[in-house]
Chain A
């Protein structure tokens, strides 16, 4: 299995809703990432988990809450989002460590719309 699977593919939520994005990989990767991508822009790093521990938080607002329950799963919990948070949310995985990113793989993304 060489894929990163993200669910759901599309999500529409209100500003008062609570929802979660899920990401799963079975490649044995121990680093997992969340990115946010706006239209016609490159992906922006949000969070990095290394060995199931949060290692990087790129000053993301607290309405985004990541969780890594085990080495294969990564969640992004959403609460009280704003319309400007509408974007494509990408999950990725790789091996951690310097220069060990040859297997860096992206999921297909979740298209999030906040209304």
Chain B
């Protein structure tokens, strides 16, 4: 069964600090992995997308890593801002017809002043 596990479930950090979110997956055959940011009551917004051959991808203060051998990914947020407070969802796509996505449970991040 395809699964995506995220940790921690929730995290509180002070403004300006860095943090790292984790994602482990057992999706096969693997197509790609995305990190989404979702504000409360809004739709998910894509931060990064990585395929099998990519190890690192950055988008402004967000840096995602992928280890396809251990089936692990991380999202590092640098110099956090209050606006980073949101849920961060790891989503893995299987290389099958229909592009079925498997969602992680998300990490709820709160950045405090």
Contact = CB atoms under 8 A, between A and B. Distances in A.
A99 B89 contact: no
Given A55-B98, A104-B99, A40 B34 contact: no
B34 A104 contact: yes
Interface stretch (B20-28, B41-49, B67-75, B78-86): B41-49
Contacts, number: 62
Nearest to A10: B41
B41 A111 contact: yes
A42 interface: yes
Interface stretch (A14-22, A72-80, A88-96): A88-96
Contact of A56 (B34, B36, B98): B98
Contacts of A50: 98
A59 interface: no
Contacts of A90: 43-44
Interface residues of B, number: 25
B43 A108 contact: yes
Interface string A15-55: 00000000000000001000000001111010010100001
Given A101-B93, A104-B34, A107-B43, 9 more contacts: A31-B99, A42-B106, A55-B98, A96-B98, A98-B96, A98-B97, A98-B99, A101-B31, A106-B36
